Structure 1
Amino acid sequence: MNCLNQCFSICFGRRRNIGNDVYEPLLQENERDAVTELLQYLENRKRTDFFQGDPLRTLSTLAYSDNIDLKRSAALAFAEITEKDVREVSRDTLEPIMYLLQTNDSEVQRAAAAALGNLAVTVTNKLLIVQLGGLEPLIQLMKSPNVEVQCNAVGCITNLATHNDNKGKIARSGALIELVKLAKSKDIRVQRNATGALLNMTHTEDNRHQLVNAGAIPLLVSLLNSNDKDVQYYCITAISNIAVDADNRVKLADESRLIQYLIHLMSSPIPKIQCQAALALRNLASDEKFQLEIVECGGLPPLLELLKSNTQQIVLAAVACIRNISIHSVNEKPIVEAGFLKLLIELISSDKGEEIQCHALSTIRNLAASDYNKMLIIKEGAAETIINLLIESENNSTGKGKGTSTSYLANGQTFGPIIKSEMTAALAILALSDEIRPQLFKIRVCDAIFPLTDKNEPLEVQANAASCIGNLAIRLEDDSQFVDAWPQIVNYLSRFLESRDLTLQHIALWTILQFIESDGNLKVLLSQTSALVQKIIKLLKVFNDNLEKNNNNSNNGTIQEIIRIISNISNGLNSMESEDDSRLEDGSNDETSTISNQEQTTNC
């Protein structure tokens, strides 16, 4: 029955039978006037503002009446009005509705909860409802045996839970336990609203923990198998958010069906479910156990298919997931054998967004940990793609870029620091291989890397580029490209040696050690670059003076490695001094004289 019919039945003396007695409802005069007025207002509802003035006073009179029929009329009126007219309202509007929630009549409760849920879509109303104590009666209505009442009460809670200021209050109110219970409802509307509310409560760490403590995890996992796609989506997304926290992942690990459900859902015909399933697996794959389990349970083939999607968000979710999975060394070979390399390389040079490129690069870097994969990465053209992209980006930034049919980047396009950092890190790892280094030189790795040591580059990019140079210098046979770039090398080595950053000092000292051990032109250039040698000696003295202090940090692997490098550099410098003394006694040869002249020129 709608509100208009309800009012007519009251006004025209609807009779009730109680036992053998027949009676007409007794109304106070002000109540009868209010019914008459409400009928008039409803007939002219398009021109009536029910949220203030006489119309609101009329509704309030009916709401606060002791007559259940009048309460129903008020509740139905509020429900019908708020279906079409939703706006910010005052406490004068909300208080009679919340009073109706506490009426011991399911029809009144249903309509009042619907009205409050309708109003709870605006920000101000969400906050005011909670401030006025609306949570407690709503929680009581969630316990109602009436499904319609449950559905509307949970729907209102769902709307209230979209505001961050309300989430903590809802979590502390006792609502979570009732929401978990109602998420098991056989009525799909109640289940949807309950799981939607649970999802809204997963956006802060404290609320997630309270949700887990309320027993939500087993429920959410079981509902992944629901036939209702909305319920599936809410539950996947909630699990994905819950999996952000390490403590929660430990509890999720107890759910034996979880990974298999999520892998299955990556093949769902609904894109948003595919995407959320991959995101949930990505978050779970922050832990070693899940990294292995996803591969063991057959997660790679559907992830590979998602990487081929035309939807950017799906590709991002999938590549982020495979990036985390690739962290585990046991997964490196299966990922490569599953055919991911080609797609990852395509994503590096795609226009699907920097975040996707970063995850693809990071995955390749992880896969490059093994020598076997390093060779495959080179054969698939990953290194050449990265190098060409870096060169084009640098040319575009300096105005030298000219777009051609073979260009990777649009004319003028450049990479930001995050992309360059990932690219240089990947090249640095590849450069550790004795077999691969000669191939890197052939595909212009120096042209890509040396400019990135410039002081104007972000520090992380400088550090990764310098690490790559240090690795390229290992057992260096042809040092001509290093000799040509010697001024650039001296500049960044000097900055790193003077830095207070232990990592930068480590990179510089490691690179210098490679130059000394190369026993070629670089060793000679180093010996003749007195300013750099003095900085090396100064840093060696600092470390030697503080050796006892550093020994107190013996568990620090970086310090231990630096001390080892320092010892080798000291021996190398002493050896260089001995060689210089021998040259002074024998006379300088032509080769030394030529290099000396070159050094003098570059110093100018």
Structure 2
Amino acid sequence: MGAGLSFISGLHCCGDGGARQLYSSFDDDCSDECQPLLGDRERRAVASLVRLFEKDMRISFYDGEPLRALTVLAHSNIQHLQLSAATAFSEISEYDVRAVSRGALGPILHLLQSEHPDIQQGAARALGNLAAVAENKRLVVAMGGLEVLVRLMTSPSTDAQISSVGCITNLAADDDSKLAIAQSGALVPLTQLARSRDVRVRRNATGALLNMTHQAGLRRLVVDAGAVAALVDLLDAGDEDTRYYAITALSNIAADDPGRSALWEAAPGLVGALLHATAAPKIRIQAQAALTLRNLASDGRYQQAIVSHGGLGALLPLVQSPYTALVTSATACLRNLSIHPGNEEPIVGAGLLPDLIDLVAQMDQPELQCHAIATVRNLVANSGTDKQVYVDAGLFDSLRVVLSSKDAHSTVLREAAAALGVLVLNDRLWRPVVEQGLCQLLVHAMHAQSMDAEYNASLAIGTLVGRGQPVVFEGLLRVWQQPAGGLRGFLARALTHPDYVASNVRPVAVWVAMTLFNDGGTDFKEAIAADKQLLAAIADIGQAPPPAIFSNGGRNKTAADDTDGGRASSIPDNATAADECPGLAPAQHIVGVVGTA
């Protein structure tokens, strides 16, 4: 376990107590005058370590006699003994990483304050390795290690910069340590080191900034430290990891309104740089660039800017890619771009509609399906192009595949029903919904055991009922009892089951039942009049006015942030709202490189 520890070979030289032999093993050029003799405590510490190592190479150096001996060396006034201790902690921490005590971290932090770069580097490497353990991260912060690391980041030694920044990166992977890091003054030097000429320093500094942006409350502090300009400059970095970290950090900053506004002011070239990155040779760079554009496109200004900068042409090959990660990222971006009323015609004109409609029916990728359906839903909700283009492109066929599948995910059913709710608001598209048998599939969605899917499906049926057209009533009459209990079974459940008392579904169900009874013709009047359960439920609830959701004309609502991971709100305000894929900060934290390789 301890084989190959280089510091032991040096300690063996002083087994006889000869200080000069010990020093010659470190520095053949050291003169006699600069070689002070070992003190008794130091001599005993060296002898103890040699004896312990020869006896059992599997010993722990983080407690007991080994730690006491290393602590003596760490606090020695003799530089080479301190270097031995720093080397020891560095090498031990390469193979033995565990939660340690204050007693073990104390000598490492003391060595970190040395004026000698080699000692600083060894201590920083040890601290960075141990900082992979959550308990150690918090202990380093509690013991004042951040202040020492911040000072070390300004060292002229590149190796010291690599190790210290790598340690900060690891500490910043712990949510409980992030605020302390921000308050320690680390963000400004991290930003400066993100521009370092050394690729390893840049990589670690960018990784640390990325880790800090995972916490919403600290993103503004990262922006205020001047990091945005440095991160944008790194979007075309030659090192893949650095480039990925920079794009992801910007994506996190763009995950909320204040961050997007800050980026709009501070980085006018951001959109162009991200679009350039979508053509990078590495898939993860392309996908993250598209996700960053998605987050930016939660803002109306960016929705316009991305399209005007040629964003649709950049996204088209990603949507057509054989790699699911790229297709999903690009489609999520299009989902947000489709919110802007002025983007419908450009998106359709760019040739994206056939691909989006094909993705609607991609049953093995529910997240991708949701993005594609929501994008088409947003486009239809706008008032631009002739809506016949959606019929001709096969939208109804794709929605039929979704709504008729027994394996469709509940979130996909919810999105499909919401899309139909938008379609039936259109004077050109409601009739094909009825004539192509989609009412039956809406009723199927009403029995999906998903309150969200039921609500959206009931809104679509309610919108059709509100048209008062005989062809609608005829179509709904055919699904009164079937499938799965039909429209009647849904109404009975929604009006009587206690789960629906406080839901948005019940008022829609009341209005649909009463409208069918009053305006649906003789067949519906007789069917409901003979149904004691429905009549009793309607009498108990009382007459309800038509919900306002059936009369908003299909207008888009303003894009709004939410945090549900890229899908519509669990219960949408209405079936016609432009649906946003909200900004999402990736959960991954970056681990710093604390070595020098």
TM bin, normalised by shorter chain, reads 0.7 to 0.9
Worse-matched range after superposition: 32-41 or 465-474: 32-41
Query: Counterpart of 1:12 in structure 2: which amino acid?
Result: Q
- Which of 453, 467, 480 is 2:446 aligned to? 453
Q: Deviations over 1:247-270 (max 9, x none)?
A: 111010121110011111111111
CA distance in 2, matches of 1:14, 1:420: 75
Pair 1:423-2:423 in alignment: no
Pair 1:97-2:108 in alignment: yes
- Which of 53, 74, 86 is 2:64 aligned to? 53
- Which of 230, 236, 243 is 1:232 aligned to? 243
Contact 1:516 1:522 in 2 (8 A): no
Per the alignment, residue 385 of structure 2 pairs with 372
Shift of 1:372: 3.2
CA distance in 1, matches of 2:186, 2:249: 17
Per the alignment, residue 391 of structure 1 pairs with 404
Worse-matched range after superposition: 50-59 or 528-537: 528-537
Structure 1 gap ranges (5+): 394-413, 545-556, 563-604
Per the alignment, residue 3 of structure 1 pairs with 7
Shift of 1:41: 5.6
CA distance in 1, matches of 2:211, 2:70: 33
Per the alignment, residue 566 of structure 2 pairs with none
- The verdict on how the C-alpha distance between 1:321 and 1:139 changes in structure 2, with shifts beyond 3 A counting, is same
Q: Deviations over 1:41-100 (max 9, x none)?
A: 667784443223332222111101112221112112222222233233222221111111
Shift of 1:135: 1.4
CA distance in 1, matches of 2:401, 2:97: 57
- The verdict on how the C-alpha distance between 1:19 and 1:117 changes in structure 2, with shifts beyond 3 A counting, is closer
Q: Deviations over 1:279-325 (max 9, x none)?
A: 11111111101111111111112222222333333222111111111
CA distance in 2, matches of 1:461, 1:138: 53
Contact 2:361 2:401 in 1 (8 A): no
Q: Deviations over 1:390-423 (max 9, x none)?
A: 1232xxxxxxxxxxxxxxxxxxxx2232111111
Shift of 1:140: 1.4
Taking structure 2 as the reference length, the TM-score comes to 0.79
For 1:457-476, list aligned pairs within 5 A.
457-473=449-465, 474=467, 476=469
CA distance in 2, matches of 1:233, 1:340: 27
Contact 2:93 2:126 in 1 (8 A): yes
Per the alignment, residue 273 of structure 2 pairs with 261
Q: Deviations over 1:110-132 (max 9, x none)?
A: 11111111221123322322232
Contact 2:168 2:208 in 1 (8 A): yes
CA distance in 1, matches of 2:61, 2:168: 24
For 1:384-533, list aligned pairs within 5 A.
384-393=397-406, 414-454=407-447, 457-473=449-465, 474=467, 476-478=469-471, 479-486=473-480, 488-489=486-487, 495=494, 505=507, 509=511, 521=522
CA distance in 1, matches of 2:70, 2:398: 71
Contact 1:11 1:32 in 2 (8 A): no
Pair 1:293-2:300 in alignment: no
Query: What secondary structure sits across from 1:428 in the alignment?
Result: helix
Q: Deviations over 1:530-552 (max 9, x none)?
A: 977898799787779xxxxxxxx
Pair 1:361-2:373 in alignment: yes
- The verdict on how the C-alpha distance between 1:539 and 1:318 changes in structure 2, with shifts beyond 3 A counting, is same
Q: Deviations over 1:148-184 (max 9, x none)?
A: 2111111111111112221222122222222112212
- The verdict on how the C-alpha distance between 1:95 and 1:380 changes in structure 2, with shifts beyond 3 A counting, is same
Contact 1:387 1:443 in 2 (8 A): no
Taking structure 1 as the reference length, the TM-score comes to 0.78
Pair 1:12-2:21 in alignment: yes
CA distance in 2, matches of 1:442, 1:20: 99
- The verdict on how the C-alpha distance between 1:371 and 1:424 changes in structure 2, with shifts beyond 3 A counting, is farther
Query: What secondary structure sits across from 1:185 in the alignment?
Result: coil
Query: What secondary structure sits across from 1:12 in the alignment?
Result: helix
CA distance in 1, matches of 2:363, 2:404: 17
Contact 2:254 2:292 in 1 (8 A): yes
Pair 1:242-2:242 in alignment: no
Shift of 1:238: 0.5
Shift of 1:501: 5.8
Contact 2:320 2:327 in 1 (8 A): yes
Contact 1:471 1:511 in 2 (8 A): no
- The verdict on how the C-alpha distance between 1:508 and 1:431 changes in structure 2, with shifts beyond 3 A counting, is farther
Contact 1:336 1:373 in 2 (8 A): no
CA distance in 1, matches of 2:372, 2:290: 15
Shift of 1:275: 1.2
- The verdict on how the C-alpha distance between 1:467 and 1:371 changes in structure 2, with shifts beyond 3 A counting, is farther
For 1:346-357, list aligned pairs within 5 A.
346-357=358-369
- Which of 326, 350, 360 is 2:338 aligned to? 326
Worse-matched range after superposition: 381-390 or 464-473: 464-473
Shift of 1:458: 2.8
Query: Counterpart of 1:443 in structure 2: which amino acid?
Result: Q
Per the alignment, residue 569 of structure 2 pairs with none
Query: Counterpart of 1:450 in structure 2: which amino acid?
Result: V
CA distance in 2, matches of 1:57, 1:538: 80
Aligned-pair identity (%): 38
Contact 2:402 2:416 in 1 (8 A): no
- The verdict on how the C-alpha distance between 1:26 and 1:534 changes in structure 2, with shifts beyond 3 A counting, is closer
Per the alignment, residue 341 of structure 1 pairs with 353
Query: Counterpart of 1:483 in structure 2: which amino acid?
Result: L
Query: Counterpart of 2:46 in structure 1: which amino acid?
Result: V
CA distance in 2, matches of 1:55, 1:501: 66
Per the alignment, residue 220 of structure 2 pairs with 209
- The verdict on how the C-alpha distance between 1:215 and 1:113 changes in structure 2, with shifts beyond 3 A counting, is same
CA distance in 1, matches of 2:31, 2:85: 30
Q: Deviations over 1:549-573 (max 9, x none)?
A: xxxxxxxx949969xxxxxxxxxxx
Contact 2:511 2:544 in 1 (8 A): no
Q: Deviations over 1:477-527 (max 9, x none)?
A: 434222334465456567469966677536754786688677x55786599
CA distance in 2, matches of 1:292, 1:44: 72
Larger helix proportion of the pair:
1
- The verdict on how the C-alpha distance between 1:80 and 1:483 changes in structure 2, with shifts beyond 3 A counting, is closer
Tell me which structure has the larger Cα radius of gyration: 1
CA distance in 1, matches of 2:264, 2:162: 32
Shift of 1:376: 1.4
Q: Deviations over 1:408-442 (max 9, x none)?
A: xxxxxx22321111111111211223333332233
Query: Counterpart of 2:157 in structure 1: which amino acid?
Result: N
- The verdict on how the C-alpha distance between 1:512 and 1:290 changes in structure 2, with shifts beyond 3 A counting, is farther
CA distance in 2, matches of 1:504, 1:253: 44
Per the alignment, residue 179 of structure 1 pairs with 190
Per the alignment, residue 382 of structure 1 pairs with 395
Per the alignment, residue 568 of structure 2 pairs with none
Per the alignment, residue 164 of structure 1 pairs with 175
Per the alignment, residue 304 of structure 1 pairs with 316
Query: What secondary structure sits across from 1:268 in the alignment?
Result: coil
Contact 1:113 1:156 in 2 (8 A): yes
- The verdict on how the C-alpha distance between 1:24 and 1:453 changes in structure 2, with shifts beyond 3 A counting, is closer
Query: Counterpart of 1:3 in structure 2: which amino acid?
Result: F
- Which of 108, 113, 135 is 2:119 aligned to? 108
CA distance in 2, matches of 1:437, 1:71: 81
CA distance in 1, matches of 2:64, 2:528: 92
Shift of 1:213: 2.2
Across the aligned residues of Structure 1 and Structure 2, the Cα RMSD in angstroms comes to: 3.5
CA distance in 2, matches of 1:443, 1:117: 64
- The verdict on how the C-alpha distance between 1:21 and 1:65 changes in structure 2, with shifts beyond 3 A counting, is closer
Shift of 1:106: 1.9
CA distance in 2, matches of 1:168, 1:375: 54
Pair 1:275-2:267 in alignment: no
Pair 1:63-2:84 in alignment: no
